[in-house]
Chain A
Amino acid sequence: MPKKPPTDRHSPFRRKLLLGTAALSATAMLAPSKLFAQAFPTAKVNTTGLAVTDTEVTVGILHSVTGTMAISETGSVEAEKLAIEQINAQGGVLGRKIKFIQEDGASDWPTFAEKAKKLLVNDKCAAVMGCWTSASRKAVLPVFEQYNGMLYYPTFYEGLEQSKNVIYTGQEATQQIIAGLDWVEKEKSAKTFYLLGSDYIWPRTSNKIARKHIEGHLKGCKVVGEEYFPLGHTQFNSVINKIKLTKPDVIYAIIVGGSNVAFYKQLKAAGIDLSKQTLLTISVTEDEIDGIGGENIAGAYACMKYFQSLDNPNNKAFVPAFKKMWGEKTVIGDVTQAAYLGPWLWKLTAEKAGSFDIDKIAAASPGVEFKGAPEGYVRIHENHHLWSKTRVGRAKLDGQYELVYETANLVEPDPFPKGYQ
Chain B
Amino acid sequence: MLFGYSFGDLGSILVMQGFAGLILFSVFVLMALGLAIIFGQMGVINMAHGEFMILGAYMTFLSSHLFQTYLPSFFGIYFFVAMIVAFLVSGAAGLATEWLLIRHLYRRPLDTLLATWGLSLIMQQAFRTIFGAREVGVELPSWMMGSLNVSSSIEVQINGLFVMALTLMITGAVALLMFKSRWGLQVRAVVNNRVMSGAVGIDTRRIDRLTFGLGCGIAGVAGSAFTMIGSTSPSAGQLYIVDTFLVVVFGGAQSLLGTIASALAISQSQSTLEFFTSGSNAKVTTLLIVIGLLMLRPQGLFVLKVRK
Direct contact of A and B (CB under 8 A): yes
What is the interface of chain A, defined by CB distance below 8 A to chain B? Answer: 65-68, 70-71, 74, 199, 227-230, 232-242, 244-245, 257-262, 265-266, 268-271, 287-296
CB distance from B16 to the nearest CB of A (A): 5
**Residue from the list A234, A239, A245, A293 in contact with B229, Cβ < 8 A:** A234
Q: Which residues from A are CB-within-8-Å of B147? A: 269-271
Contact, CB under 8 Å: B157 / A271: yes
Which B residue sits closest to A233, measured CB to CB? B279
A227 to B274, CA, bound (A): 10
Given A71-B135, A261-B135, A269-B158, A291 contacting B271 (CB threshold 8 A): no
B235 interfacial by beta-carbon distance below 8 Å: yes
A238 to B231, CA, bound (A): 18
Q: Which residues from A are CB-within-8-Å of B133? A: 65, 70-71, 74
A271 to B147, CA, bound (A): 5
A301 to B137, CA, bound (A): 20
CB distance from A248 to the nearest CB of B (A): 13
**Considering the complex, which residues of chain B in the window 59-90 have a beta carbon less than 8 Å from any beta carbon of chain A?**
none
**Residue from the list A233, A237, A257, A295 in contact with B139, Cβ < 8 A:** A295
CB distance from B48 to the nearest CB of A (A): 17
B233 interfacial by beta-carbon distance below 8 Å: yes
Q: Which residues from A are CB-within-8-Å of B194? A: none
Interface string of B133-145 (1 = CB under 8 A from A): 1111111101001
Given A241-B16, A291-B231, A296 contacting B145 (CB threshold 8 A): yes
Contact, CB under 8 Å: B137 / A67: no
Extra inter-chain contacts (20) besides given A71-B133, A240-B20, A290-B134, CB under 8 Å: A66-B125, A70-B133, A71-B134, A74-B134, A228-B279, A229-B280, A234-B230, A234-B231, A235-B229, A238-B17, A238-B20, A238-B279, A238-B282, A262-B231, A266-B157, A269-B158, A271-B157, A288-B135, A291-B233, A292-B231
Contact, CB under 8 Å: A245 / B13: yes
A229 to B160, CA, bound (A): 21
B93 interfacial by beta-carbon distance below 8 Å: no
Contact, CB under 8 Å: A238 / B271: yes
Given A245-B13, A258-B239, A260-B231, A70 contacting B279 (CB threshold 8 A): no
Q: Which residues from A are CB-within-8-Å of B5? A: 245
Contact, CB under 8 Å: A71 / B233: yes
A239 to B136, CA, bound (A): 25
CB distance from A375 to the nearest CB of B (A): 22
What are 14 A-B contacts with C-beta separation under 8 Å? A236-B279, A237-B24, A238-B20, A239-B274, A239-B279, A242-B275, A245-B5, A258-B233, A262-B231, A265-B159, A268-B145, A269-B146, A290-B136, A291-B231
**Considering the complex, which residues of chain B in the window 206-238 have a beta carbon less than 8 Å from any beta carbon of chain A?**
226, 228-236, 238
A236 to B274, CA, bound (A): 9
B188 interfacial by beta-carbon distance below 8 Å: no
Given A66-B125, A71-B135, A234-B239, A265 contacting B20 (CB threshold 8 A): no
